Structure 1
Amino acid sequence: MTALETRHLVKRFGGFTATHDVSLSIRKGARHALIGPNGAGKTTLINLFTGVFAPTSGQILLDGEDITTLPAHARVARGLSRTFQINQLFGDFTPLDSMMLAIGERKGHGRRFWRPLAADRDVAEEAVATLEQFGLADAMSNETKLLPYGKQRLLEIALAIAAKPKVLLLDEPAAGVPEEEREEVLAIVRALPEDVTVVLIEHDMDLVFSFADRISVLAAGALFAEGTVEEIARNPQVKAIYLGEDT
Protein backbone atom coordinates (compact mmCIF):
# COMPACT_ATOMS: atom_id res chain seq x y z
CA MET A 1 0.00 0.00 0.00
CA THR A 2 1.19 3.49 -0.85
CA ALA A 3 1.14 6.24 1.79
CA LEU A 4 2.43 9.19 -0.25
CA GLU A 5 2.81 9.49 -4.00
CA THR A 6 3.75 12.11 -6.56
CA ARG A 7 3.03 11.90 -10.27
CA HIS A 8 5.13 13.94 -12.71
CA LEU A 9 5.49 16.74 -10.18
CA VAL A 10 6.93 20.02 -11.51
CA LYS A 11 7.59 23.30 -9.73
CA ARG A 12 8.91 26.34 -11.57
CA PHE A 13 9.85 29.72 -10.14
CA GLY A 14 9.86 31.96 -13.19
CA GLY A 15 12.38 30.41 -15.57
CA PHE A 16 13.94 28.18 -12.89
CA THR A 17 12.71 24.60 -12.53
CA ALA A 18 13.17 23.54 -8.90
CA THR A 19 11.32 20.22 -9.23
CA HIS A 20 11.38 18.39 -12.53
CA ASP A 21 8.96 15.54 -13.35
CA VAL A 22 9.28 13.78 -9.96
CA SER A 23 7.26 10.57 -9.68
CA LEU A 24 7.75 9.06 -6.24
CA SER A 25 5.94 6.29 -4.37
CA ILE A 26 6.43 5.82 -0.62
CA ARG A 27 4.87 2.75 0.95
CA LYS A 28 2.97 2.72 4.23
CA GLY A 29 5.20 2.29 7.25
CA ALA A 30 8.37 3.07 5.28
CA ARG A 31 11.48 4.74 6.58
CA HIS A 32 12.25 6.64 3.39
CA ALA A 33 15.15 9.08 3.02
CA LEU A 34 15.48 11.88 0.46
CA ILE A 35 19.10 12.82 -0.13
CA GLY A 36 21.02 14.94 -2.60
CA PRO A 37 23.47 17.82 -2.77
CA ASN A 38 22.54 21.36 -1.75
CA GLY A 39 20.14 22.83 -4.29
CA ALA A 40 18.85 19.41 -5.38
CA GLY A 41 15.25 20.39 -4.59
CA LYS A 42 14.68 18.39 -1.40
CA THR A 43 13.06 21.12 0.70
CA THR A 44 11.07 22.34 -2.30
CA LEU A 45 9.65 18.84 -2.63
CA ILE A 46 8.67 18.81 1.06
CA ASN A 47 7.03 22.22 0.61
CA LEU A 48 5.04 20.80 -2.29
CA PHE A 49 3.99 17.79 -0.21
CA THR A 50 2.71 20.03 2.58
CA GLY A 51 1.01 22.76 0.55
CA VAL A 52 3.50 25.56 1.21
CA PHE A 53 4.01 25.70 -2.57
CA ALA A 54 1.49 24.87 -5.27
CA PRO A 55 2.94 22.70 -8.05
CA THR A 56 3.20 24.03 -11.57
CA SER A 57 1.93 20.66 -12.76
CA GLY A 58 1.56 17.09 -11.56
CA GLN A 59 -0.25 15.41 -8.68
CA ILE A 60 0.27 14.60 -4.99
CA LEU A 61 -1.67 11.74 -3.38
CA LEU A 62 -1.99 10.88 0.31
CA ASP A 63 -3.43 7.43 1.00
CA GLY A 64 -4.65 7.38 -2.60
CA GLU A 65 -6.50 10.70 -2.25
CA ASP A 66 -5.52 13.60 -4.50
CA ILE A 67 -4.43 16.44 -2.19
CA THR A 68 -2.72 18.57 -4.86
CA THR A 69 -4.97 21.59 -4.36
CA LEU A 70 -5.66 21.25 -0.64
CA PRO A 71 -4.37 23.97 1.73
CA ALA A 72 -1.73 23.08 4.30
CA HIS A 73 -4.12 22.81 7.28
CA ALA A 74 -6.36 20.40 5.39
CA ARG A 75 -3.36 18.16 4.67
CA VAL A 76 -2.49 18.10 8.36
CA ALA A 77 -6.08 17.11 9.15
CA ARG A 78 -5.74 14.21 6.69
CA GLY A 79 -2.57 12.96 8.36
CA LEU A 80 0.44 14.78 6.89
CA SER A 81 2.79 16.46 9.40
CA ARG A 82 6.26 17.96 9.11
CA THR A 83 9.18 19.50 10.94
CA PHE A 84 11.40 22.28 9.59
CA GLN A 85 15.13 22.85 9.08
CA ILE A 86 14.84 25.75 11.54
CA ASN A 87 12.31 25.14 14.30
CA GLN A 88 9.01 26.99 14.30
CA LEU A 89 8.36 26.91 18.05
CA PHE A 90 6.82 29.56 20.34
CA GLY A 91 9.75 30.56 22.52
CA ASP A 92 7.69 32.03 25.37
CA PHE A 93 5.51 28.91 25.69
CA THR A 94 6.50 25.93 27.78
CA PRO A 95 6.65 22.50 26.08
CA LEU A 96 3.53 21.58 28.05
CA ASP A 97 1.67 24.68 26.76
CA SER A 98 2.64 23.88 23.17
CA MET A 99 1.77 20.21 23.48
CA MET A 100 -1.64 20.90 25.01
CA LEU A 101 -2.43 23.37 22.23
CA ALA A 102 -1.42 20.86 19.55
CA ILE A 103 -3.44 18.04 21.09
CA GLY A 104 -6.39 20.31 21.83
CA GLU A 105 -6.47 21.49 18.23
CA ARG A 106 -6.44 17.89 16.99
CA LYS A 107 -9.34 17.04 19.29
CA GLY A 108 -11.28 20.14 18.25
CA HIS A 109 -10.93 21.79 21.66
CA GLY A 110 -9.11 24.78 20.19
CA ARG A 111 -12.44 26.25 19.10
CA ARG A 112 -13.80 26.12 22.68
CA PHE A 113 -12.06 29.35 23.60
CA TRP A 114 -14.26 29.90 26.67
CA ARG A 115 -12.92 26.75 28.37
CA PRO A 116 -9.29 26.49 29.55
CA LEU A 117 -7.43 23.61 27.97
CA ALA A 118 -6.15 22.68 31.42
CA ALA A 119 -9.73 21.71 32.29
CA ASP A 120 -9.55 18.86 29.75
CA ARG A 121 -7.89 16.08 31.68
CA ASP A 122 -7.50 13.87 28.63
CA VAL A 123 -5.54 16.60 26.83
CA ALA A 124 -3.28 17.19 29.82
CA GLU A 125 -2.62 13.49 30.34
CA GLU A 126 -1.76 12.90 26.68
CA ALA A 127 0.47 15.98 26.64
CA VAL A 128 2.48 14.81 29.63
CA ALA A 129 2.74 11.24 28.30
CA THR A 130 4.00 12.47 24.91
CA LEU A 131 6.59 14.74 26.50
CA GLU A 132 7.79 11.84 28.65
CA GLN A 133 8.07 9.66 25.53
CA PHE A 134 10.35 12.26 23.94
CA GLY A 135 12.56 12.77 26.98
CA LEU A 136 11.12 16.20 27.79
CA ALA A 137 9.45 15.49 31.13
CA ASP A 138 12.08 17.37 33.14
CA ALA A 139 11.77 20.45 30.91
CA MET A 140 8.02 20.57 30.30
CA SER A 141 7.49 23.67 32.50
CA ASN A 142 10.47 25.68 31.22
CA GLU A 143 10.17 28.33 28.53
CA THR A 144 10.96 26.74 25.19
CA LYS A 145 13.50 29.44 24.28
CA LEU A 146 15.59 28.41 27.29
CA LEU A 147 15.85 24.74 26.27
CA PRO A 148 19.04 23.32 24.72
CA TYR A 149 18.71 23.21 20.94
CA GLY A 150 18.56 19.42 20.88
CA LYS A 151 15.56 19.53 23.23
CA GLN A 152 13.89 22.08 20.96
CA ARG A 153 14.31 19.71 18.02
CA LEU A 154 12.79 16.90 20.09
CA LEU A 155 9.85 19.13 20.99
CA GLU A 156 9.20 19.95 17.35
CA ILE A 157 9.12 16.24 16.46
CA ALA A 158 6.87 15.56 19.48
CA LEU A 159 4.43 18.26 18.34
CA ALA A 160 4.32 16.74 14.85
CA ILE A 161 3.59 13.32 16.36
CA ALA A 162 0.85 14.84 18.54
CA ALA A 163 -1.13 15.45 15.35
CA LYS A 164 -1.33 11.62 14.95
CA PRO A 165 0.06 11.72 11.39
CA LYS A 166 -0.07 8.95 8.85
CA VAL A 167 3.00 10.47 7.18
CA LEU A 168 5.68 12.47 9.00
CA LEU A 169 8.17 14.57 7.04
CA LEU A 170 11.41 15.30 8.92
CA ASP A 171 13.48 18.08 7.37
CA GLU A 172 17.03 17.66 8.74
CA PRO A 173 16.07 16.86 12.36
CA ALA A 174 19.72 16.78 13.47
CA ALA A 175 20.69 20.07 11.79
CA GLY A 176 22.39 22.49 14.16
CA VAL A 177 22.21 20.11 17.12
CA PRO A 178 25.46 20.03 19.12
CA GLU A 179 27.34 16.75 19.03
CA GLU A 180 26.65 15.99 22.70
CA GLU A 181 22.87 16.24 22.09
CA ARG A 182 22.70 14.50 18.71
CA GLU A 183 22.45 10.92 19.95
CA GLU A 184 19.29 11.66 21.92
CA VAL A 185 17.67 13.21 18.84
CA LEU A 186 18.78 10.33 16.61
CA ALA A 187 17.52 7.73 19.10
CA ILE A 188 14.07 9.38 19.14
CA VAL A 189 13.97 9.50 15.33
CA ARG A 190 14.85 5.81 15.11
CA ALA A 191 12.16 4.95 17.70
CA LEU A 192 9.26 6.73 16.00
CA PRO A 193 6.04 4.64 15.85
CA GLU A 194 6.21 1.87 13.25
CA ASP A 195 2.73 2.63 11.90
CA VAL A 196 3.80 6.17 10.93
CA THR A 197 5.38 6.51 7.50
CA VAL A 198 8.50 8.64 7.91
CA VAL A 199 10.18 10.62 5.12
CA LEU A 200 13.59 11.95 6.17
CA ILE A 201 15.66 14.70 4.56
CA GLU A 202 19.14 14.60 6.02
CA HIS A 203 22.78 15.31 5.13
CA ASP A 204 24.11 13.10 7.93
CA MET A 205 24.72 9.89 6.01
CA ASP A 206 25.33 7.89 9.19
CA LEU A 207 21.77 8.73 10.24
CA VAL A 208 20.39 8.03 6.76
CA PHE A 209 22.05 4.62 6.48
CA SER A 210 21.08 3.59 10.01
CA PHE A 211 17.47 4.78 9.65
CA ALA A 212 16.22 4.29 6.11
CA ASP A 213 14.94 1.17 4.40
CA ARG A 214 14.74 2.97 1.05
CA ILE A 215 16.48 6.03 -0.36
CA SER A 216 15.61 8.42 -3.18
CA VAL A 217 18.36 10.63 -4.57
CA LEU A 218 17.54 14.03 -6.04
CA ALA A 219 19.84 16.01 -8.33
CA ALA A 220 18.99 19.30 -10.05
CA GLY A 221 15.34 18.90 -9.03
CA ALA A 222 14.92 15.48 -10.63
CA LEU A 223 14.79 11.96 -9.23
CA PHE A 224 18.25 10.63 -10.03
CA ALA A 225 18.31 7.22 -8.34
CA GLU A 226 16.25 5.10 -5.97
CA GLY A 227 16.83 1.86 -4.12
CA THR A 228 17.67 0.13 -0.89
CA VAL A 229 20.40 1.44 1.40
CA GLU A 230 22.81 -1.14 0.01
CA GLU A 231 22.01 -0.29 -3.61
CA ILE A 232 22.46 3.43 -3.07
CA ALA A 233 25.65 2.98 -1.02
CA ARG A 234 27.37 1.11 -3.84
CA ASN A 235 25.97 3.14 -6.74
CA PRO A 236 29.00 4.86 -8.35
CA GLN A 237 26.88 7.57 -10.01
CA VAL A 238 25.34 8.52 -6.66
CA LYS A 239 28.82 8.69 -5.14
CA ALA A 240 29.94 10.95 -7.98
CA ILE A 241 26.99 13.33 -7.69
CA TYR A 242 26.32 13.31 -3.96
CA LEU A 243 29.64 12.52 -2.38
CA GLY A 244 31.86 14.15 -4.98
CA GLU A 245 33.75 10.96 -5.75
CA ASP A 246 35.04 9.87 -9.13
CA THR A 247 33.19 6.99 -10.75
Structure 2
Amino acid sequence: MPDHVLTCERLVKRFGGITATDDVTLRLERGARHALIGPNGAGKTTLVNLLTGVLEPTSGRIALEGEDISKLAPHKRVHRGLVRTFQINQLFPSMTPLQTLALVIAQQRRQGARFWQPLGRDEEVVMRASQLLEQFRLAEVKDVPTEHLAYGKRRLLEIAIALACEPRVLLLDEPVAGVPAGEREDILQTVAALPADVSVLLIEHDMDLVFSFARRMTVLVNGAVLTEGTPDEIAADPRVREVYLGHGEEAHA
Protein backbone atom coordinates (compact mmCIF):
# COMPACT_ATOMS: atom_id res chain seq x y z
CA MET A 1 0.00 0.00 0.00
CA PRO A 2 1.40 3.49 -0.86
CA ASP A 3 2.83 5.58 1.93
CA HIS A 4 0.45 8.53 2.23
CA VAL A 5 1.79 11.59 4.02
CA LEU A 6 -1.39 13.69 3.72
CA THR A 7 -4.94 12.40 3.29
CA CYS A 8 -8.44 13.76 3.39
CA GLU A 9 -11.35 11.35 3.57
CA ARG A 10 -14.88 12.24 2.43
CA LEU A 11 -14.33 15.91 3.12
CA VAL A 12 -17.43 18.12 3.01
CA LYS A 13 -17.72 21.87 3.46
CA ARG A 14 -21.09 23.61 3.31
CA PHE A 15 -21.79 27.33 3.43
CA GLY A 16 -25.50 27.48 4.19
CA GLY A 17 -27.18 25.65 1.34
CA ILE A 18 -24.09 25.65 -0.86
CA THR A 19 -21.80 22.61 -0.87
CA ALA A 20 -18.33 23.94 -1.74
CA THR A 21 -16.48 20.67 -1.09
CA ASP A 22 -18.48 17.57 -1.86
CA ASP A 23 -17.23 14.27 -0.40
CA VAL A 24 -13.60 14.78 -1.48
CA THR A 25 -11.06 12.04 -0.85
CA LEU A 26 -7.43 12.81 -1.72
CA ARG A 27 -4.27 10.91 -0.83
CA LEU A 28 -0.84 12.44 -1.21
CA GLU A 29 2.02 9.96 -1.37
CA ARG A 30 5.37 10.61 0.28
CA GLY A 31 7.58 12.50 -2.17
CA ALA A 32 4.56 13.26 -4.36
CA ARG A 33 4.45 15.66 -7.25
CA HIS A 34 0.66 15.93 -7.35
CA ALA A 35 -1.41 18.60 -9.10
CA LEU A 36 -4.92 19.72 -8.20
CA ILE A 37 -6.67 21.26 -11.19
CA GLY A 38 -10.16 22.34 -12.16
CA PRO A 39 -12.07 25.25 -13.67
CA ASN A 40 -12.78 28.44 -11.74
CA GLY A 41 -15.30 27.74 -8.99
CA ALA A 42 -14.33 24.07 -8.79
CA GLY A 43 -13.58 24.31 -5.07
CA LYS A 44 -9.77 24.20 -5.15
CA THR A 45 -9.29 27.16 -2.80
CA THR A 46 -11.88 25.84 -0.35
CA LEU A 47 -10.15 22.44 -0.30
CA VAL A 48 -6.75 24.03 0.35
CA ASN A 49 -8.26 26.18 3.12
CA LEU A 50 -9.66 23.03 4.70
CA LEU A 51 -6.31 21.22 4.46
CA THR A 52 -4.46 24.14 6.05
CA GLY A 53 -7.02 24.81 8.79
CA VAL A 54 -8.29 28.17 7.56
CA LEU A 55 -11.71 26.52 7.32
CA GLU A 56 -13.15 23.74 9.47
CA PRO A 57 -14.84 20.89 7.57
CA THR A 58 -18.55 20.24 7.92
CA SER A 59 -17.69 16.56 7.91
CA GLY A 60 -14.82 14.29 6.96
CA ARG A 61 -11.28 13.79 8.17
CA ILE A 62 -7.82 15.19 7.40
CA ALA A 63 -4.70 13.32 8.48
CA LEU A 64 -1.00 14.23 8.35
CA GLU A 65 1.36 11.27 8.71
CA GLY A 66 -1.66 9.24 9.86
CA GLU A 67 -2.60 11.67 12.66
CA ASP A 68 -5.97 13.39 12.57
CA ILE A 69 -5.45 17.15 12.21
CA SER A 70 -9.03 18.05 11.24
CA LYS A 71 -9.43 20.45 14.17
CA LEU A 72 -5.81 21.57 14.52
CA ALA A 73 -5.08 25.32 14.31
CA PRO A 74 -3.29 26.50 11.14
CA HIS A 75 -0.04 27.47 12.89
CA LYS A 76 0.14 24.06 14.57
CA ARG A 77 -0.22 22.39 11.16
CA VAL A 78 2.71 24.49 9.94
CA HIS A 79 4.85 23.36 12.88
CA ARG A 80 3.96 19.76 12.04
CA GLY A 81 5.15 20.24 8.48
CA LEU A 82 2.08 21.21 6.44
CA VAL A 83 2.97 24.51 4.77
CA ARG A 84 1.25 26.60 2.11
CA THR A 85 2.73 29.39 0.03
CA PHE A 86 1.15 32.72 0.78
CA GLN A 87 1.05 36.27 -0.50
CA ILE A 88 4.13 38.00 0.88
CA ASN A 89 3.18 41.33 -0.69
CA GLN A 90 0.92 41.74 2.34
CA LEU A 91 3.76 41.00 4.76
CA PHE A 92 6.89 42.92 5.71
CA PRO A 93 6.96 45.19 2.61
CA SER A 94 9.89 47.21 3.95
CA MET A 95 11.95 44.13 4.87
CA THR A 96 14.46 42.59 2.50
CA PRO A 97 14.45 38.94 1.38
CA LEU A 98 17.42 38.27 3.66
CA GLN A 99 15.69 39.82 6.69
CA THR A 100 12.40 38.07 5.89
CA LEU A 101 13.95 34.63 5.55
CA ALA A 102 16.11 35.12 8.65
CA LEU A 103 12.97 36.00 10.64
CA VAL A 104 11.07 32.94 9.39
CA ILE A 105 14.03 30.63 10.07
CA ALA A 106 14.52 32.07 13.57
CA GLN A 107 10.82 31.61 14.35
CA GLN A 108 10.90 28.06 13.00
CA ARG A 109 13.76 27.34 15.39
CA ARG A 110 11.85 29.00 18.26
CA GLN A 111 14.31 31.90 18.26
CA GLY A 112 11.85 34.61 17.25
CA ALA A 113 12.80 37.04 20.00
CA ARG A 114 16.48 36.74 19.17
CA PHE A 115 15.99 37.76 15.55
CA TRP A 116 15.91 41.43 16.50
CA GLN A 117 19.54 41.23 17.51
CA PRO A 118 21.78 42.62 14.76
CA LEU A 119 21.47 40.47 11.64
CA GLY A 120 24.43 38.14 11.46
CA ARG A 121 24.64 37.39 15.17
CA ASP A 122 23.24 33.90 14.63
CA GLU A 123 25.47 32.33 11.99
CA GLU A 124 23.28 29.25 11.47
CA VAL A 125 20.22 31.38 10.69
CA VAL A 126 22.13 33.59 8.26
CA MET A 127 23.75 30.56 6.61
CA ARG A 128 20.39 28.89 6.02
CA ALA A 129 18.91 32.16 4.72
CA SER A 130 21.84 32.54 2.33
CA GLN A 131 21.35 28.98 1.05
CA LEU A 132 17.70 29.69 0.33
CA LEU A 133 18.55 32.98 -1.38
CA GLU A 134 20.90 31.13 -3.72
CA GLN A 135 18.49 28.25 -4.30
CA PHE A 136 15.64 30.59 -5.21
CA ARG A 137 17.68 32.97 -7.37
CA LEU A 138 17.29 35.83 -4.91
CA ALA A 139 20.89 36.44 -3.89
CA GLU A 140 21.28 39.47 -6.15
CA VAL A 141 18.22 41.15 -4.58
CA LYS A 142 18.74 40.00 -0.98
CA ASP A 143 19.02 43.57 0.31
CA VAL A 144 16.18 45.08 -1.75
CA PRO A 145 12.96 45.84 0.18
CA THR A 146 10.30 43.32 -0.75
CA GLU A 147 7.92 46.06 -1.94
CA HIS A 148 10.43 46.95 -4.68
CA LEU A 149 10.97 43.41 -6.01
CA ALA A 150 9.74 42.34 -9.44
CA TYR A 151 6.58 40.26 -9.12
CA GLY A 152 8.32 37.06 -10.21
CA LYS A 153 10.91 37.55 -7.47
CA ARG A 154 8.15 38.02 -4.90
CA ARG A 155 6.63 34.69 -5.91
CA LEU A 156 10.06 33.05 -5.58
CA LEU A 157 10.35 34.57 -2.10
CA GLU A 158 6.95 33.12 -1.18
CA ILE A 159 8.19 29.64 -2.03
CA ALA A 160 11.49 30.25 -0.22
CA ILE A 161 9.56 31.33 2.91
CA ALA A 162 7.49 28.15 2.73
CA LEU A 163 10.61 26.01 2.40
CA ALA A 164 12.20 27.86 5.32
CA CYS A 165 9.37 26.41 7.44
CA GLU A 166 10.87 22.95 6.78
CA PRO A 167 7.72 21.40 5.30
CA ARG A 168 7.04 17.73 4.90
CA VAL A 169 4.08 18.69 2.71
CA LEU A 170 4.12 21.86 0.60
CA LEU A 171 0.90 23.21 -0.87
CA LEU A 172 2.14 25.25 -3.80
CA ASP A 173 -0.68 27.67 -4.53
CA GLU A 174 -0.61 29.01 -8.12
CA PRO A 175 3.09 29.98 -8.14
CA VAL A 176 3.01 31.58 -11.61
CA ALA A 177 -0.34 33.38 -11.28
CA GLY A 178 0.07 36.95 -12.48
CA VAL A 179 3.76 36.54 -13.25
CA PRO A 180 4.83 38.14 -16.57
CA ALA A 181 6.09 35.72 -19.22
CA GLY A 182 9.65 37.02 -18.97
CA GLU A 183 9.83 36.20 -15.24
CA ARG A 184 8.27 32.73 -15.32
CA GLU A 185 11.30 30.63 -16.24
CA ASP A 186 13.04 31.06 -12.87
CA ILE A 187 9.86 29.93 -11.11
CA LEU A 188 9.40 26.91 -13.40
CA GLN A 189 13.01 25.82 -12.82
CA THR A 190 12.77 26.41 -9.07
CA VAL A 191 9.58 24.38 -8.76
CA ALA A 192 11.15 21.55 -10.75
CA ALA A 193 14.14 21.54 -8.37
CA LEU A 194 12.21 21.40 -5.08
CA PRO A 195 13.68 18.84 -2.63
CA ALA A 196 12.62 15.27 -3.38
CA ASP A 197 11.78 14.57 0.28
CA VAL A 198 9.13 17.32 0.31
CA SER A 199 5.72 16.09 -0.87
CA VAL A 200 4.15 18.74 -3.10
CA LEU A 201 0.51 19.43 -3.93
CA LEU A 202 0.44 22.00 -6.76
CA ILE A 203 -2.70 24.07 -7.32
CA GLU A 204 -2.33 25.73 -10.71
CA HIS A 205 -4.14 26.87 -13.87
CA ASP A 206 -1.00 26.93 -16.04
CA MET A 207 -1.16 23.62 -17.90
CA ASP A 208 2.43 23.80 -19.12
CA LEU A 209 3.62 23.88 -15.50
CA VAL A 210 1.11 21.25 -14.40
CA PHE A 211 2.02 18.72 -17.05
CA SER A 212 5.78 19.28 -16.74
CA PHE A 213 5.69 18.96 -12.94
CA ALA A 214 3.02 16.48 -11.89
CA ARG A 215 3.34 12.70 -11.72
CA ARG A 216 -0.26 12.43 -10.57
CA MET A 217 -3.25 14.73 -10.99
CA THR A 218 -6.68 15.20 -9.39
CA VAL A 219 -9.42 17.03 -11.27
CA LEU A 220 -11.97 18.89 -9.16
CA VAL A 221 -15.32 20.01 -10.63
CA ASN A 222 -18.22 21.57 -8.71
CA GLY A 223 -16.54 20.73 -5.41
CA ALA A 224 -16.17 17.02 -6.19
CA VAL A 225 -13.41 14.83 -7.60
CA LEU A 226 -14.12 14.15 -11.27
CA THR A 227 -11.15 11.86 -11.80
CA GLU A 228 -7.56 11.19 -10.78
CA GLY A 229 -4.66 9.68 -12.67
CA THR A 230 -1.33 10.19 -14.38
CA PRO A 231 -0.87 13.22 -16.65
CA ASP A 232 -1.28 11.01 -19.72
CA GLU A 233 -4.53 9.56 -18.36
CA ILE A 234 -5.87 13.00 -17.49
CA ALA A 235 -4.96 14.45 -20.89
CA ALA A 236 -6.72 11.57 -22.65
CA ASP A 237 -9.91 11.73 -20.57
CA PRO A 238 -12.74 13.23 -22.66
CA ARG A 239 -14.56 14.43 -19.52
CA VAL A 240 -11.52 16.49 -18.54
CA ARG A 241 -11.22 17.91 -22.03
CA GLU A 242 -14.85 18.95 -21.86
CA VAL A 243 -14.91 20.58 -18.42
CA TYR A 244 -11.42 21.99 -18.15
CA LEU A 245 -8.73 21.48 -20.75
CA GLY A 246 -11.13 22.41 -23.51
CA HIS A 247 -11.79 25.81 -21.92
CA GLY A 248 -9.17 27.82 -23.76
CA GLU A 249 -6.44 25.23 -23.19
CA GLU A 250 -5.01 22.64 -25.49
CA ALA A 251 -4.99 19.18 -23.98
CA HIS A 252 -1.48 17.80 -23.64
CA ALA A 253 -0.67 14.55 -25.37
Same fold (TM over 0.5): yes
Tell me the secondary structure at the aligned position of residue 124 of structure 1.
Answer: helix
- After superposition, residues 55-204 of structure 1 pair within 5 angstroms as 55-84=57-86, 87-112=89-114, 115-116=117-118, 118-204=120-206
TM-score (norm 2): 0.93
Residue in structure 1 matched with residue 32 of structure 2 by the alignment: 30
Tell me the secondary structure at the aligned position of residue 120 of structure 2.
Answer: helix
Amino acid at match of 2:79: A
Alignment gaps of 5+ in structure 2: 248-253
Residue in structure 2 matched with residue 210 of structure 1 by the alignment: 212
Amino acid at match of 2:63: L
CA RMSD between the two structures: 1.4
Cα-to-partner distance string for 1:110-157 (whole Å, 9 max, x where unaligned): 144775553211101111111111100010001001010000000000
Residue in structure 1 matched with residue 250 of structure 2 by the alignment: none
Contact 2:88–2:158 (Cα < 8 Å) also in 1: no
Cα-to-partner distance string for 1:205-226 (whole Å, 9 max, x where unaligned): 1110000000000000001100
1:83 is displaced (CA, Å) by: 1.1
CA distance in 1, matches of 2:19, 2:129: 42
Q: Segments of 4+ in structure 1 off by > 3 A?
A: 84-89, 111-118
Contact 2:103–2:115 (Cα < 8 Å) also in 1: no
Residue in structure 2 matched with residue 240 of structure 1 by the alignment: 242
CA distance in 1, matches of 2:92, 2:34: 29
CA distance in 1, matches of 2:72, 2:222: 26
Question: What is the count of residue pairs matched by the alignment?
Answer: 245
Amino acid at match of 2:180: P
TM-score (norm 1): 0.96
